[in-house]
Amino acid sequence: MRLVIILFFINIFLLYGQTIHYYNHLNPPLNETLSISSNYGDIRSSSFHFGIDYTTKGRRGLPIFAIDSGYVSRIKVEAGGYGRAIYINHNSGITSVYAHLDSFSFSITQFVKNKQYENQKFSIDILLEPTVFKIKKGEIIGYSGNSGQSTGPHLHFELRNTKSQSTLYPFIFSFHQKDTLPPVIEKVLLYHSFSYLSKDTLPAIKIIPFNKNKTTNSTSQNPKAWEVPEKFFIGLQAFDYLFDKSRKFNFYHSKVLLDQELIFEMKFDEMPFTETNLVSGIIDFQRRNLTSENIILQYQYSNLSFTPIKKAIHSGMITLNDTLTHTLTIEIYDFSGNFTTCNLQIRVSKKKGAFFNNNSYKEYIVAAGKQKIVKLGNTRLIFYPNTFYDNTKLFINKIYDLKLLTGEIIEIGHENIPVKSVFGLEIPITNVKPSLYSKIVVTRINGKVKESIGGEIKDNTIVAKTRKFGRYTLELDTIPPIIEFLNVKENEPIKQNFITVKITDNLSGIKSYNGYIDDNWVLFEYDLKNSTLVYTFDEKCIVKNSIRKLQIFVEDNRGNLERKRINFFY
Ligand SMILES: [Zn+2]
């Protein structure tokens, strides 16, 4: 057993050098058998997961330990996102992050609460000097929970480079089980290029299913060479297992080789924070929207830099100038060095044009990596240099619908087109009295659902920015938020040690809220996913055995204000 551990250690040491010494001497963040529900690099709907999620088996309140000595550099509390999160800077130049906590350690909780009362605000984001909270390795810093945007109790654990705040692959501790399972390649897809205009036609031209059962260092069994076009790049449906086959994770490292020569390489070892939302430029975005499959492209768009792409000869585009048989090799590695190889014999098809049908389109623009303004009547669309990953064919249209406020919908591209960064919309306001201008929002119509993207009024125009293509129109929000008392009844005693209130808004969303007991501001903690506010009775509301006054004020993003008052006995 000891020999195995030593061999494993040496193996890791050889692969990753001196730094692993450091990582192997850290304290686990949880004092439990660590079970992982999401790994670094996993693909979420609009971002990569850039930490590790440790399951807490449905439980909350498990102690969270600092992985190393250091100091608390940041404390963040928010209704969504990370909920309650703590950042610790270590001497090694690494920051560890612990998110979705139920609570902080006693001294940190007191500190946070004082700040919240001082600011009369629940959400805080404080950067701290090294002297405020010094932390010892293994010290309890908080308790696990389900706060913020979390779908169940777990610990989100993250490592960052302190200086650059770049996120790092954190699966590097000696306290994890050994991963001996190799990654799996399910499909190899061949692409010529992308044409997103028809939402029904998927762009892959050839799908090669790979033998799922033969994993380690296996070769696909094709006696005949696959026929391919002269120019193509590939996409992979591949994943990794960690300790067992119960969950699939994203792979760590991929290589594409043509006749032994490296064409493309991708390694999810590090992602700057600004790159973590570039999912739509790394996967076949249209296929994901239509079939829910995540195909990871082994291709680099011209307007994309992504740290995990380590090599991209001709952007990953493979060109074959002869009719000979070539070997296309795909290698997938996990972090522990397990790998799967797929060797495909390929040859250019003699049938010209056998692979692509070139559709012709009614109207489109090609927006490259520079600014472009498109006018549609008095509406202006502003595409910035960073809006697109690559030159993009775009259909822009106006649809008349007299039931709508402005009588029209602006249709911009299609929701299956990947967008790298925002574009601007400038829509003139018509048919609205100036007194109602402040209530206008730009909405995105998705089937029957209308989603507000806000917007700012400038003269007679509303200006908004968005990262999604689709259909847009204007809407009025004159309806205030709704407040419901969940466990308070008029003039009755409170049965629990807390007060809970539900707050919701129909369109523009909640901007701010405040709760008062007997005209004193009290800390209502906001949980966005449940739309609830919770005040836990504390020294700010001492028992008086009398009727007390509770007031809640909520304002939406269009200045619609709601106030509700109730008396209770406490
Ligand atoms: Zn997470």
| Boundary (domain end) residue, out of 128, 155, 175 | 175
Contact 116, 523 (CB under 8 A): yes
Q: What is the CATH number of the domain that holds 157?
A: 2.70.70.10
Task: State how far the alpha carbon of 222 is from the alpha carbons of 225, 319, 348, in Å.
Answer: 7, 21, 16
Per-residue pLDDT, 402:
73
Contact 165, 97 (CB under 8 A): no
Distance (Å) from CA 277 to ligand 1 centroid:
14
Q: What is the CATH number of the domain that holds 456?
A: 2.60.220.30
- Answer whether residue 354 is part of any domain: no
Distance (Å) from CA 157 to ligand 1 centroid:
7
Distance (Å) from CA 85 to ligand 1 centroid:
12
Distance (Å) from CA 339 to ligand 1 centroid:
25
Task: Give CA 230 to chain center in angstroms.
Answer: 36
DSSP character string of 411-435: EES-TTS--SS-EEEEEE--S--GG
Distance (Å) from CA 42 to ligand 1 centroid:
10
Distance (Å) from CA 66 to ligand 1 centroid:
17
Same domain assignment for residues 196 and 169? no
- Answer whether residue 356 is part of any domain: no
For 305, residues 6+ apart whose C-beta sits below 8 A from its C-beta are 275
pLDDT in tens, the chain (570 residues): 444 444 444 444 444 545 566 777 889 999 877 788 999 999 998 899 999 999 988 899 999 999 999 999 999 999 999 999 999 999 999 999 999 999 999 999 999 999 999 999 999 999 999 999 999 999 999 999 999 999 899 999 999 999 999 999 987 666 677 888 889 888 888 887 655 544 555 556 666 666 544 444 444 455 577 888 888 899 999 999 988 888 999 999 999 999 999 999 999 999 999 999 999 999 998 888 888 999 999 999 989 999 999 999 999 999 999 989 999 999 999 988 899 888 888 888 776 555 554 443 345 566 668 898 988 888 999 999 999 998 887 888 888 777 778 778 898 888 888 899 999 999 999 888 889 999 999 999 988 888 999 999 998 999 999 999 999 999 999 999 999 999 999 999 998 999 999 999 999 999 999 999 999 999 999 999 999 999 999 988 888 899 999 999 999 999 999 999 999 999
DSSP state of 113: H
For 318, residues 6+ apart whose C-beta sits below 8 A from its C-beta are 231, 232, 233, 234, 256, 258, 263, 328
Other Cβ atoms less than 10 A from the Cβ of 509: the count is 16
Same domain assignment for residues 470 and 490? no
Distance (Å) from CA 215 to ligand 1 centroid:
28
Per-residue pLDDT, 160:
95
Distance (Å) from CA 49 to ligand 1 centroid:
6
Number of domains present in the structure of the chain: 4
| Boundary (domain end) residue, out of 424, 446, 476 | 476
Residue 516's closest CA among 540, 480, 482, 487?
540
Residue 473 buriedness (CB in 10 A; 0-12 / 13-18 / 19+): buried
Per-residue pLDDT, 190:
85
Residue 482's closest CA among 531, 518, 516?
531
- Answer whether residue 355 is part of any domain: no
Rounded to whole angstroms, how far apart are CA atoms 95 and 560?
41
Same domain assignment for residues 461 and 503? no
Distance (Å) from CA 479 to ligand 1 centroid:
35
Distance (Å) from CA 48 to ligand 1 centroid:
10
Per-residue pLDDT, 128:
97
Could you tell me the two tokens for 450?
A: 């209308």
Distance (Å) from CA 35 to ligand 1 centroid:
13
**Residues of the domain holding 554:** 482-569
Other Cβ atoms less than 10 A from the Cβ of 248: the count is 16
Distance (Å) from CA 121 to ligand 1 centroid:
26
| Boundary (domain end) residue, out of 157, 175, 193 | 175
pLDDT digits (tens, 9 = 90+) for 379-395: 999 999 999 998 887 88
Distance (Å) from CA 52 to ligand 1 centroid:
6
pLDDT digits (tens, 9 = 90+) for 227-238: 888 888 999 999
Distance (Å) from CA 12 to ligand 1 centroid:
25
Distance (Å) from CA 151 to ligand 1 centroid:
10
Same domain assignment for residues 398 and 541? no
Distance (Å) from CA 320 to ligand 1 centroid:
42
- Which SS3 state, helix, strand or coil, does residue 231 take? strand
Helix (H), strand (E) at residue 3: helix 2-16
Measured CA angle at 250 (ends 50, 43), to 5 deg: 55
Contact 88, 70 (CB under 8 A): yes
Contact 543, 487 (CB under 8 A): no
Find tokens 């001492």 and name the residue.
542
- Answer whether residue 425 is part of any domain: yes
Task: State how far the alpha carbon of 29 is from the alpha carbons of 32, 35, 84, 154, 157, in Å.
Answer: 9, 12, 16, 12, 8
Same domain assignment for residues 265 and 218? yes
Distance (Å) from CA 301 to ligand 1 centroid:
27
Same domain assignment for residues 117 and 66? yes
Same domain assignment for residues 102 and 236? no
Same domain assignment for residues 446 and 499? no
Task: State how far the alpha carbon of 350 is from the alpha carbons of 228, 324, 355, in Å.
Answer: 9, 11, 11
Distance (Å) from CA 497 to ligand 1 centroid:
31
Residue 255's closest CA among 331, 189, 188, 306?
331
Distance (Å) from CA 93 to ligand 1 centroid:
22
Distance (Å) from CA 68 to ligand 1 centroid:
20
Rounded to whole angstroms, how far apart are CA atoms 209 and 461?
52
Same domain assignment for residues 189 and 222? yes
Contact 484, 510 (CB under 8 A): no
- Answer whether residue 4 is part of any domain: no
Distance (Å) from CA 382 to ligand 1 centroid:
34
Same domain assignment for residues 190 and 169? no
Distance (Å) from CA 40 to ligand 1 centroid:
9
- Answer whether residue 240 is part of any domain: yes
Distance (Å) from CA 51 to ligand 1 centroid:
6
Cα of first residue to Cα of last residue in the chain, in angstroms, is 62
Question: For the whole model, what pTM was predicted?
Answer: 0.87
Residue 505 buriedness (CB in 10 A; 0-12 / 13-18 / 19+): buried
Could you tell me the two tokens for 282?
A: 């790394």
Distance (Å) from CA 238 to ligand 1 centroid:
21
Distance (Å) from CA 65 to ligand 1 centroid:
17
Same domain assignment for residues 156 and 225? no
Per-residue pLDDT, 431:
81
- Answer whether residue 359 is part of any domain: no
Distance (Å) from CA 107 to ligand 1 centroid:
25
- Answer whether residue 532 is part of any domain: yes
Q: Where are the alpha helices (DSSP H) in 328-473?
A: none
Residue 304 buriedness (CB in 10 A; 0-12 / 13-18 / 19+): buried
Distance (Å) from CA 97 to ligand 1 centroid:
11
Same domain assignment for residues 486 and 471? no
Could you tell me the two tokens for 199?
A: 């939402």
Distance (Å) from CA 261 to ligand 1 centroid:
36
The four Cα atoms 385, 390, 396, 401 give a dihedral, to 10 degrees, of: -90
Find tokens 């509770």 and name the residue.
550
Distance (Å) from CA 53 to ligand 1 centroid:
5
Task: Give CA 336 to chain center in angstroms.
Answer: 25
Distance (Å) from CA 147 to ligand 1 centroid:
12
Distance (Å) from CA 98 to ligand 1 centroid:
9
Distance (Å) from CA 45 to ligand 1 centroid:
13
